[in-house]
Structure 1
Amino acid sequence: MNRPAGTQAAPVDQDVLIVGAGISGIGMAAHLQMRCPDRSFGLVERRANLGGTWDLFRYPGIRSDSDMHTLGFVFEPWKHEKSIADGPAILDYLNRIVDERGIRERIRFNRKVIGADWDSATARWTVTMEDDAGAKSTTTARWLYLGSGYYDYDEPFDANFTGREAFKGQIVHPQFWPENLDYAGKKVVVIGSGATAVTIVPAIADNSEGKGAEHVTMLQRTPTWYFIRPAKDALANFLRKILPEKVAYRITRFKNVKLQDIGFRRARTKPEKVKDFLTGKLKAALGDRYDEEAFTPPYNPWDQRLCLVPDADFFEAMKADKASVVTDHIERFDESGILLKSGRHLDADIIVTATGLKLAVAGKIPVHVDGERIEWSEHFYYKACMFSNVPNFAAVFGYLNASWTLRADIVAEYVCRVLNHMRATGTEVATPALEDPASLTEENIFDFSSGYIQRSLHIMPKNADALPWRLNQDYVHDRAYMRSGPVDDGVLAFGHAKSAATAPALEAAE
C-alpha cells in the first residue's frame, strides 16, 4: 500500500482507502468485507493504536455517553454486562472485531494523512502520508472514506483563562491527560459541566483504592441537563440468557433506538414536561443536596446533548461530600487556585479544564479536486456523508441526538450500495452533482446551543432544508432512506475517468 513519494501506481493500490481506525473506519472495513467482497481496501491510522477517541482519551473514568447497544455496530453484538461501558471495554470490543475479521493486517499505523488529491483524468485519489520520522509516502485509491472523527486531535478548545501562568499547581486538559497523574489527597477543580467533567469528577473522587482526591469541585458557568440511568441494561442481560445472542442484541438495539427517538421528540415538543421529569429524578438522587441554581439550565433539554450519569455516580460523590458543584464565572487564576467573579476563591492543587473540543472537518486534511482546494464550508452535504461536486468521497459525522455508530453503520452500508452500483454499471466515478447551489434553501441543522457546535459553524459544510442535501438528525428516517432509496436518484452522477471518456472522440478526430 505504501510507496515512495513521486512513484506511480497502475491502476490503484486499493479500491477504497479508509482514513482512521476508530469506530467509523473499522465499521466501514467490516461492511466492505460483508457487502463488497470483491473490493480491495486499506486503512491508515495516524496513531500507534486503533480506537480513535477511545485510544486518545485516557482520563479517569473514560466511558461511553451512549448505550453500547447503539454505540456498538449493527453487525457485532455487545456482550458485556454493562451497557454504559468504560474505555478499555470499548477498545477490547474494537480489537476483537479487527482480529476476528482479519482487518488488523490491512491497517498501516503511524501514518498521518497530509494531503488527498483527486485526478479526474485517471479517476483516482492520491493520498500523501507522513510517518513519525517525517518520511513521506503515497498511496492511491478509487474511493476515499474518512473515518477521522469530528474534532481536532492536535489541540483542544482553549478557553484562555486569565492568569493561568500564575497558578503554581498542575493544569490538565482531558484530551491530553498525563500518565499516572497523582491526584490522591489533593484539591481538584474541574472546569466544565458536560459529559467529560461529569465522568471525571466521580472517578477521581472515588477513594475505594486509597487514590481519591481530597475533594473535587466542578466549576460550571452554566448548568447542564442530566439523565440518570443504570449502567447495566436489565432487559438486555435477561434476553441474552434466553435468546440467541444476535437476536437479543437486535431487540435491545431496537428498544434503545426507539427510546432515544421518543425522548428527543418529546423534549422538542413538550420541553416543560421533560424538564419536570429530569428535575424529579435529580431531586430523588440528591435529596437535601439538590440545589436549584446548580441544576436548572437556562435552555431546554436537548438544546444541548443530554448528559448521561450512569448509576447516579456523580450525585453519589456529592452526597458523600467528596464532590461539589459551584456555579459562577472565572475572574482569573492565581497562585493557589481560581478567583471567581463573585469574589469567592476555589483552592486547588490541580485544575482540569474540561472546556470542550475544537471541531475539525475532514480531519484537517487538505483535499484537492483537479488541483483546486476544497473549502468544505462552500459545499453541501449529500445524504449525510458525501458532498456536492466532490467525487468518490465520503465522511462520517455522527448524530448529535443519538449514538455516533448509528450514523457510521448506515453511511457504510450506503457507500457499499454505491460501490456495488458502480460495479454493476461499469462506472468508476460517483459525484453528487449540484449545478446551482443558489437553487437550494440553506438551513442550520446544527440547532444545538452547545459551545463546540456554535464555535465551529463557520467551517462546517452547508445544509439545505430538505434531503438529499443535508446532514439529517433523524436516525429512524435516515435508516430507511439510506437503505431503500434509489442509488441512481438523478442527483448522484455516475461516469468514467475523463481520459477514458475523451478517448473515442480523439480516435474519431484522427
Structure 2
Amino acid sequence: MEHVDVLVVGAGLSGIGAGYRLQTRCPDLRYAILESRDSLGGTWDLFRYPGIRSDSDMYTLGYPFRPWRGEKSIADGADILQYVRDTAAENGIDTRIRFGHKVTEASWSSEHARWTVRARVGDRTVEMSCSFLYLCSGYYSYESGYLPEIPGLDDFAGTVVHPQFWPEDLDWHGKRIVVIGSGATAMTLVPALAERAEHVTMLQRSPSYVMSLPAQDGWARLLHRYLPGAVAHRAVRAKNVVTNLGFYQFCRRAPFLAKRVLRTLTARRLHDKAQVDPHFTPSYDPWDQRLCVVPDSDLFEALGTGAAEVVTDHIDTVTEKGVRLRSGTELDADILIPATGLRLVPAGGIAIAVDGEPVDLSSTVIYRGTMLDGIPNAALCIGYTNASWTLRADLTSLYVCRVLGYMRRKGYRIAVPSYTGDGQRRPLLGLNSGYIHRAENTLPGQGSRSPWLMRQNYLLDLPTMRWGRVDRSMQFR
C-alpha cells in the first residue's frame, strides 16, 4: 500500500492552494492529491452554465502567492478555471494529482498513527495510507444538487435543466425560459440567457438582496499603472478585505440602515422603480443570507430591456406548457431551470472511522475552523460565507503546515483537538439560507469562544492562524 505524509482530497481552488503551501512550507513531506473527477478546478470545472462567474472579487478569491492579472475583478468562470490550472502547472502541483479517485472511506488507526483511505477508481477500489488527512473537497455534493418537490414537474413537455449539470448542446435561442430561484445562480443565469432567449422569467418565492459592483476595479487599474504587479495586488487585496468586511459589519450592526442603503442602491439601478418593494426587498436582514452581487448591473439591464422579468409568487403546479402560480398567473415555458440550490455534505460524503468506530461528524465541534475534536491528524478546508472562500482556505492551509511543522520538531506522531468549550454549541455556518438549514443536522458544530468559534472575520483569524499557539486545546503524542 502506498503511503504519503499528507493526503489532500480535492483538486479545486482549495486543494491546489493546499498543494502550494505544503510544498513550500513543508518541503520534506511527501503529499498527493486525490481528485474524483478527470480534471482539476473543482467548482469552476463542474459548473458550466451560461454566465458562470464569481460573486467575490478575484483579488481576494485568487491566491495571495499568485497575483490575479485578469482585467475583470468579478471574473468569468472560464477565466477562474484557467487561473487555477495555470497555478497548478506553474508550480508542478498538477503532477501530484491522481485523477478519477473518488474517496469513499477514511479509517484512522491510533496504533499505527495513520489513515487508511479507500477510493473508487472506475469499477475497482484502491487503498492508500497517510499520516495526515486534509479534506479540501468543499461542502456540497458534486453528484446532485437540491431539487425540492415541485408539483407537476413530470408533466412538463419541455426541457428541465439543473444548473449543476448543464448540457453542452442545449439550444435556448428564441426559447421561453423560467428560472426558478432567487440566489446567485439564478441572477447569473438570467442576464446571460436573456441575450439569446425570447424571454426569461426569474420566478422567486421571496426576494434576495442584490448589489451591483463594477466588473473591473478602477483602483486596481490605477495602482497597477504606478506600482509593481505584486505590490499592487497586495494593496488591492488589502483594500478589498477591509472594504468587504466593513460593509458586512455595517449590515450586521445597523441592519435597518443597511436595508435603506441597499434599497436605495437597487432603486437607482432599476429602470422601473416600482419593482423594488415586491421583488428586491427581502423580509430578513442583510447578510442573514448571502448577499447577491451582479457585475455592471447586468441583471437590472436585462430587466430594463424587457428581455427578462422577475415574478415573486409561489408555484401551484407545473403544467405541460409551463408554470401555474398560486395567483392564477400562467408562465409559458420551453425550458425550466430549477436554480434551487446545493445539497451540502460534510467532508465530501466520506465515511470516517477512528479506531474502528464510525464518526458522526454532526457530533463533533470544529477547532480553529479546520480540525475536529476527537479526530486525529485530520483537517477540513472550509471558506468564509461572508467573504471570498480562498481567504480562509489559505489561512487553513498555512495553519495545517504549522501543525505539521510543530509535530516534526517535537517528534510527535499524533495531534488531536480536545474540546474544552462551555458546551454552548452553535451551527457551523452562520447564515439562514435554505441549503444551510437543510444540512445543519449533518455538519459539525462550533463553540461559543476561541479556539472553538468559527469566526467570519479574516482580520481576527489572520493573527490566530498565522502566529497563534498551536498547542492550545490540542493533545500531542
Q: State if a TM-score over 0.5 links the two structures.
A: yes
Cα distance in 2 between the residues matched to 1:137 and 1:448: 38
Report the CA distance between 1:287 and its aligned residue: 3.0
Which segments of structure 1 move beyond 2 Å, counting only runs of 4 or more?
287-290, 443-447
Q: TM-score, normalised by structure 2?
A: 0.98
Please list, as runs of the form range in 1=range in 2, the aligned pairs for 1:61-460 lying within 5 A after superposition. 61-132=51-122, 134-206=123-195, 212-291=196-275, 292-434=277-419, 439-444=422-427, 446-460=429-443
> Which residue pairs with 1:494 in the alignment?
476
One-letter amino acid of the structure 2 residue matched with residue 429 of structure 1? I
Q: TM-score, normalised by structure 1?
A: 0.92
SS state at 1:415 partner: helix
Confirm whether residue 472 of structure 1 aligns to residue 460 of structure 2. no
Cα distance in 2 between the residues matched to 1:71 and 1:334: 41
SS state at 1:358 partner: coil
Report the CA distance between 1:440 and its aligned residue: 2.4
One-letter amino acid of the structure 1 residue matched with residue 327 of structure 2? S
> Larger deviation: 480-489 or 79-88?
480-489
Cα distance in 2 between the residues matched to 1:220 and 1:16: 45
8 Å Cα contact 1:380/1:470 also seen in 2: no
Cα distance in 2 between the residues matched to 1:365 and 1:290: 49
| Identity between Structure 1 and Structure 2 (%) | 48
Find the structure with the greater CA-based Rg. Answer: 1
Report the CA distance between 1:339 and its aligned residue: 0.5
Structure 2 stretches of 5 or more lacking a match?
Answer: none
Structure 1 stretches of 5 or more lacking a match?
Answer: 1-7, 207-211, 496-510
SS state at 1:188 partner: strand
Cα distance in 1 between the residues matched to 2:382 and 2:51: 25
8 Å Cα contact 1:462/1:470 also seen in 2: no
> Larger deviation: 195-204 or 237-246?
237-246
Residues 1:213 and 1:246: Cα distance change in structure 2 (over 3 Å) = same
8 Å Cα contact 2:418/2:475 also seen in 1: yes
Report the CA distance between 1:445 and its aligned residue: 5.3
8 Å Cα contact 2:428/2:443 also seen in 1: no
> Which residue pairs with 2:446 in the alignment?
463
SS state at 1:259 partner: helix
SS state at 2:193 partner: helix
Report the CA distance between 1:290 and its aligned residue: 4.1
Cα distance in 1 between the residues matched to 2:408 and 2:229: 34
1:289-331 superposed Cα distances (whole Å, 9 cap, x missing partner):
5412111110111111100010000000011110000000001
Report the CA distance between 1:446 and its aligned residue: 3.2
8 Å Cα contact 2:118/2:128 also seen in 1: yes
One-letter amino acid of the structure 1 residue matched with residue 156 of structure 2? F
SS state at 1:293 partner: helix
8 Å Cα contact 2:115/2:130 also seen in 1: yes
Cα distance in 1 between the residues matched to 2:143 and 2:157: 25
SS state at 2:452 partner: coil
8 Å Cα contact 2:272/2:304 also seen in 1: no
What is the CA RMSD across the aligned residues, in angstroms?
1.1
Report the CA distance between 1:356 and its aligned residue: 0.5
One-letter amino acid of the structure 1 residue matched with residue 138 of structure 2? G
Report the CA distance between 1:195 and its aligned residue: 0.3
